[in-house]
Structure 1
């Protein structure tokens, strides 16, 4: 049987979207089997192991090959990215053994890697396998990474020290501090790693991306026209999205949403790793209460100041301690606070949801787009500040949440943006754009849609 081997980064958002790619291939081209190489490290990257068990039990065409964990001391690394990149580099011998073993019983048609898994590219070349990238953020972000080596050659300063807008083909002007977080300081190892990854993107057989043509037309055109890669060919681009995980219909918050009026609830959630200080949580609570709007808010335990705790799954939050005194009781008729997790796809697709305050992770953006829900953009890390610029300036799907100089968002700002989204003219304009993009997303994934055509073209090559 022909097999596609997928190699995602261990982060939850990266793993989920690559598994969704596997589901898409097996649904429309059932002659293929999918094997996912997984790194489930000893530090916290979200509820990875439970997710893998669930997929294994429900999608028999997708199997997981667990690469041996390599114990690393998190305290020796400056960032989460640095430890993940080192883990991936050190896993190369295990990847080679896995690919060699799989090829003994299967014909490997393609090896599809995450951007972060670039160190595995020479292994595939050694084994004479075609390498494709699966880019888990949007086409705008891909255009930026393809152009990044050019920006690097033409500048000497770190982005954090630049005071002019960054310009790249197909993109709106980017404020330098909105650049992808690991790129801000060119003296750090993360910057060097991303530069290497970006230089390798054009060396692949093709780039598969979780977006659809009408969502990011300018960036997609710039990539296809070769404007982003200096002096080299751009590999074929396959826009096969939006890939969105199925919604789980079992959670107390869905019962609560059933009793709320249509489009009356603002949903606040910040990804699998998004956390706030206790002071910031109190500001959000005060702003929500003063807005007078109904809300569903996912709250996580604030981050610890201890470096080693960055890699440990936090305990369940104590709402009485974290939120203003009496807040939960005072707002019980209009709001619901959920601890740690909610079934986001099911929530966003609920009739009662009228807006989404989001960290701008790409999976969350696509989930909102496919549900037709407008957004308030409140980015926290990774490429999220960049996504915010694109969502606000280019796609017109979000309004920005503005921070003060100290990085805090005030209760007054939360109240203002919730009101703007849920009742203002600007919010109404966003809703109309969101509904239009929702229809286009459905069309792209339909039988004769652009994303289905791109998938067919890709599988024909395999």
Structure 2
């Protein structure tokens, strides 16, 4: 009896992860026959959000959704907490562990599909790599989809493997046994890697990551949202880590289409402002959907913006460490800063959400001051916009190394958002001027060309990697 093919995608509910999984689902829908089913799986609130976002941007997209029952309160989480956007970073571990409790419900779902004569391929986030156990039990293909870059992934993997005894040298530099050619400074690591092993939940954090790493070694393939020509070193590091038996397929860049967001009233107002600015003149500033910097750092950044005199759009979020109900408003910035920028038509502060992809695609945008989250990196370079780097956490520090040292499309002007993280307005201003110069723009145009060629029909590397993956998963 012939079986129907079914691809089940299971993202972890962090904003960057969800965005990448939706784009992966769109890609698979474009290339797979119509009789191959594609389903995104998550908890009730996440499925509702995914359904709403995909229907708004692609109402005819033939992708299904499946809800796994989940009661946050059962895990000590707030009633409405099903994603990282609902909780502060210290509580992420509780959500990570809570999602492990979804295994029985996920197993029941996959078991039902198999019983209905479905040939199932599970594509799971690295943070739900436990799904490989379900796939093995039910005789399904399994792949891990990594939504960040290859170099950052390899470094994070090695850091967690060596925790808690990271091998710092007497010079204060870290050289990981897996990648001795790479030197890392303490300032290039999230606080979690510098915490004492006995500090509260650290044992749980290390144990969680160790479990997911061990699960990941059992997968049939790894998908990565990157481009072979841009990250040959990083991809080699990942392949060396996993071993030759696991194909590592770079199918990037998977980048959002910003047209739906630009069509909203708020988005349209931002685009109208951009229309009033000269070509390649505007600096776009965003630290991501869940990040911000400290008040004193905001002061330095605002001072740098005024000293350059360049037009800017700042996707503004309240400072780290500030209770917005007690302290808020203009005191976060130099006195009169926003009023002066508006009066001169030189600056626009967008509070909360901003139509990032539409801004980066606009001809007036000349550079992006970014935390260097991987989605932001790919969105910027896909649209030919160089980057002013200010990494804050996780793999962002290693993304900046790749951008600056290998690709030459970024200048790092600051690092981190701790009280001890030094920021100097003159260094920020100097970096902005360098990135918005002609040399950097020429280099980013070359990188943009590499990205476009990755999907060329006559031998593009990402197109070939996708075909390799489909063959390995028997989805042809």
For 1:202 and 1:125, the matched residues in 2 are separated by 13
How many pairs are equivalent? Answer: 439
User: Relative to structure 1, is the Cα distance of residues 194 and 430 closer, same or farther in structure 2, using a 3 angstrom cutoff?
Assistant: farther
Whether 2:192 is the aligned partner of 1:191: answer no
The aligned counterpart of 1:322 is 332
Q: Which residue of structure 2 aligns with residue 90 of structure 1?
A: 101
- Once residues 234 and 180 of structure 2 are traced to their aligned partners in structure 1, the CA distance between those partners, rounded to angstroms, is 4
Give 1:363 shift.
Answer: 0.4
State the partner residue of 2:353.
Answer: 341
Q: Does 1:165 align with 2:166?
A: no
Structure 1 counterpart of 2:16: 13
Deviation at 1:169, TM superposition (A): 4.0
Instruction: Report the 3-state secondary structure (helix = DSSP H, G, I; strand = E; otherwise coil) of the residue aligned with 2:174.
Output: coil
Distance 1:246 1:194, change over 3 A: same
Q: Deviations over 1:337-369 (max 9, x none)?
A: 111111111111111111110001000011111
1:83–1:203 Cα change, 3 Å: same
Distance in 2 between the 1:59 and 1:38 partners? 21
Q: Secondary structure at the match of 1:133?
A: strand
The change in CA–CA distance for 1:244 and 1:299 in structure 2 (over 3 A counts) is same
CA contact (8 A) 2:167 2:175 kept: no
Instruction: Tell me the TM-score normalized by structure 1.
Output: 0.86
Unaligned runs of 5+ in 1: 42-46, 307-313
Question: In structure 1, what is the equivalent of residue 234 of structure 2?
Answer: 219
Q: CA deviation at 1:143?
A: 2.6
Secondary structure at the aligned position of 2:217 is classed as helix
Match of 2:252?
241
Residue 370 of structure 1 is matched in structure 2 by 382
Moved more, 382-391 or 258-267: 382-391
- Would the alpha carbon gap of residues 156 and 282 (structure 1) be closer, same or farther in structure 2, given more than 3 Å must change? closer
1:274 aligns with 291
- Does the aligned pair in 1 maintain the 2:97–2:208 contact within 8 Å? no
2:102 and 2:161 mapped to 1: Cα distance? 30
Report which stretch shifted further, 449-458 or 187-196.
187-196
Does 2:142 correspond to 1:135?
A: no
SS at 1:102 equivalent: helix
Single out whichever of 22-31 and 202-211 deviates more from structure 2: 22-31
The residue aligned with 2:70 is 69
Select 2:223's aligned residue among 208, 229, 233.
Answer: 208
Q: More displaced, 175-184 or 387-396?
A: 175-184
- Deviation at 1:87? 1.6
Q: For the residues of structure 2 that align with 1:285 and 1:394, how far apart are their CA atoms?
A: 29
Deviation for aligned residue 1:242: 0.4
1:247-282 alpha-carbon deviations (Å, 9 max, x no partner): 133211111111111111111011110123333323
Post-superposition Cα deviations, 1:295-322, rounded to whole Å, max 9, x if no partner, equal 111101234568xxxxxxx89x965453
Question: 2:294–2:419: 8 Å Cα contact kept in structure 1?
Answer: no
For 1:144, what is the secondary structure of its paired residue? helix
Asked whether the equivalents of residues 169 and 219 of structure 1 are also in contact (C-alpha less than 8 Å), the reply is no
Deviation at 1:223, TM superposition (A): 3.7
* Displacement of 1:146: 5.1
1:411 shift after superposition = 2.9
CA shift, 1:144, in A, is 2.6
Q: 1:105 to 1:54 in 2, by over 3 A?
A: farther
In 2, Cα distance between the equivalents of 1:8 and 1:169?
28
Gaps of 5+ in 2: 79-86
More displaced 10-residue stretch of structure 1: 358-367 or 248-257: 248-257
The two structures have a TM-score, normalised by structure 2, of 0.83
Cα shift at 1:149: 7.0
The answer to whether the aligner puts 1:392 opposite 2:404 as a matched pair is yes
Contact 2:151 2:237 in 1 (8 A): no
Question: Residue 111 of structure 1: SS of its match in structure 2?
Answer: strand
- Equivalent of residue 310 in structure 2, options 276, 289, 293: 293
Aligned-partner SS, 2:66: strand
2:132 and 2:218 in contact (8 A); partners too: no
What is the CA distance between 1:182 and its match in structure 2? 4.0
Matched with 2:51 is: 52
- Is the contact between residue 12 and residue 272 of structure 1 (CA under 8 Å) also seen in structure 2? yes
User: 3-state SS of the aligned residue for 2:71?
Assistant: coil
Does structure 2 retain, via aligned residues, the 8 Å contact 1:149–1:199?
A: no
**Stretch moving more, 444-453 or 75-84:** 75-84
Mapped contact 1:39–1:67 kept (Cα < 8 A)? yes
